[in-house]
Structure 1
């Protein structure tokens, strides 16, 4: 509770759990002994009556989060409560191989000695990968833009960093992060769509649970057809959302060769020229086609847009909202930009790595 919902008083924990006060006190004491939580006096503790101590997750209990992409690799150190202590993004010379990504991760972690020294022992590594990932086996089936196929993923990263490693699809972890700490907290039915240099993926929250599918590969929403006879897609078809709505097309229109989402943000917020505006509007219109399909299929209460899709939404969200509202059968869905920004996938990867601890703190 305190990891996902923030600091809570002992009395509030008693109310929410239904346990008695002595049980909550014993649990808090046991967790505090293991340094998993901290207690503090509430504000205004000098008033009459016995104040209920505030319990919060210890953010110095941390994991390492890794997000490889086709143009860069990002590493973060994330503590309990979703606290991102640091984030380092390093651009790569070309698309990195799996070995390249592992070595670069080690190099970045070595440079973070100063940050890691102030934390508790790091518990593990979470990997957010743009591709089909068998999370239970720790293997990537295919990461098409990276060119990684049928390879052990967690073994190389975990072995090189000396920590237990877990991995999952990046967009699925983005959905997990936003539903736990971000824009979709408390929403039982939501669709999350992420756009990165590698393409577009998604995650679906249905009835409060993440939709995984029979093999864990659900959420490949980027392969929804949005333009018949359109651009060829790496999946072998043409006109997929992933092929038509692309970060590099927007950067090309702006005359930029690198910089990623941060560079695009600067262009769109500074008043883009005609070429960028035309490409952004084209992509928004095609994105609307996909979102209408998702509304009709999943009937979500909320659609959350992350990565460069969030940048497009900030650029002209009304255009997108209007088209989705009028095009879908039921209408009435809310669109929001992801709340966690560039830390989103790191928080999702960390949440995956924290699962064993949360399931069994002892």
Structure 2
């Protein structure tokens, strides 16, 4: 593949900021913008800003663009591309994020099709093609980034999104019936029992505003894991995560599980405990050595997955698209 070949523009929005990147074939990140730490309550303003940042990358590198992809922390309903539950953003429910993104892409003078999808779905797509999920037929991905917990499934090599794009809302599996109230109206969901905020609270810490919750939780595990309060908090989250994974193993029978965000760090902290919980709690988890549970390996995998959406028409018909 030519080093100076075409790229896709990828954009990602999350609770603590947003970023744009240019991504070549094979998931290779060519250039990225610095991450922005403030997400406006107006989706059009945020998407316009991130697309313009990506357009500046295109101008500065002189690359040809095949299209654009957007990753958002929300289920994206098809066929209209509506963000149904941007719970950790101050965005209205049901915003037409794909239409807004397309309009911003066109306004910036960027050619090619534009797409939008859920960030964990896109992370799973990227990891299946280029990372820890390569070679898996039925791949389950569970991740917690800055807030909440998401999941995705690749079945027989294809991303499974359900009848209208809303499949695998694993964050709303109940893993602690007497636990914290969840944004969905239930209680004790994985979304609020196994994310960065949950770890900090379990450890008895007051999260500070200076650094993202994900960074605070990751630093805690990597620098203070030997402290009894931190270890107990980590074990509590591992047990809750394992309980959720065991239920998913019973239903989905994946041949591999990959974990992203803070869950990757929890796995690295105590892989034996997590695997033991999944094996003990799942019908099939203890047989034949159990289901392999691996950490995600790509940097910015949601960005890479967003770019894969834009690359797909090229992969389907290279001459027709690029000619």
TM (normalized to structure 1)? 0.77
Distance 2:224 2:85 in 1: 38
Q: Does 1:242 align with 2:199?
A: no
Distance 1:250 1:89 in 2: 27
Q: Does 1:133 align with 2:76?
A: yes
Unaligned runs of 5+ in 1: 1-55
Q: Does 1:166 align with 2:122?
A: no
Q: CA deviation at 1:226?
A: 0.4
Residue 178 of structure 2 aligns to a residue whose secondary structure is coil
- The equivalences for 1:184-199 within 5 A come to 184-199=133-148
Distance 1:263 1:60 in 2: 38
Structure with more relative contact order (C-alpha pairs < 8 Å, separation 6 or more): 2
Give the root-mean-square deviation of aligned CA atoms: 2.2
Q: Which moved more, 1:238-247 or 1:146-155?
A: 146-155
Distance 1:299 1:125, change over 3 A: same
Superposed CA offset, 1:88-123 (max 9, x none): 35343466431342243145336536xx43342222
Q: Does 1:154 align with 2:98?
A: yes
Q: Does 1:80 align with 2:39?
A: no
Name the counterpart of 1:296.
250
Superposed CA offset, 1:202-225 (max 9, x none): 111223332221112111111111
Q: Give the greater-gyration-radius structure (CA).
A: 1
Name the counterpart of 1:204.
153
Distance 1:58 1:111, change over 3 A: closer
Question: Does the Cα contact within 8 Å between 1:292 and 1:324 map onto a contact in 2?
Answer: yes
Q: Does 1:286 align with 2:259?
A: no
Question: Does the Cα contact within 8 Å between 2:131 and 2:296 map onto a contact in 1?
Answer: yes
Q: 2:278 aligns with which of 324, 335, 353?
A: 324
Question: Does the Cα contact within 8 Å between 1:233 and 1:243 map onto a contact in 2?
Answer: yes
The 4+ residue runs of structure 1 with deviation greater than 6 A are: none
Distance 1:79 1:283, change over 3 A: same
What is the count of residue pairs matched by the alignment? 304
Distance 1:291 1:134, change over 3 A: same
Distance 2:23 2:2 in 1: 12
Superposed CA offset, 1:259-278 (max 9, x none): 34344333322233333332
Residue 217 of structure 1 aligns to a residue whose secondary structure is coil
Unaligned runs of 5+ in 2: none
Name the counterpart of 1:344.
301
Residue 226 of structure 1 aligns to a residue whose secondary structure is coil
Question: Does the Cα contact within 8 Å between 1:128 and 1:170 map onto a contact in 2?
Answer: yes
- The equivalences for 1:1-362 within 5 A come to 56=1, 60-93=5-38, 96-106=41-51, 108-109=53-54, 112=57, 116-146=59-89, 147-162=91-106, 163=110, 164-251=113-200, 253=203, 255-257=207-209, 258-272=211-225, 273-331=227-285, 332-341=290-299, 343-361=300-318, 362=320
Question: Does the Cα contact within 8 Å between 1:70 and 1:96 map onto a contact in 2?
Answer: no
Superposed CA offset, 1:187-241 (max 9, x none): 1112101211231111112233322211121111111110112111111111110
Distance 1:96 1:57 in 2: 40
Distance 2:51 2:158 in 1: 34
Distance 1:66 1:133, change over 3 A: same
Q: CA deviation at 1:127?
A: 0.7
Residue 329 of structure 1 aligns to a residue whose secondary structure is coil
Question: Does the Cα contact within 8 Å between 1:135 and 1:167 map onto a contact in 2?
Answer: no
Residue 150 of structure 1 aligns to a residue whose secondary structure is coil
TM (normalized to structure 2)? 0.86
Distance 1:118 1:108 in 2: 13
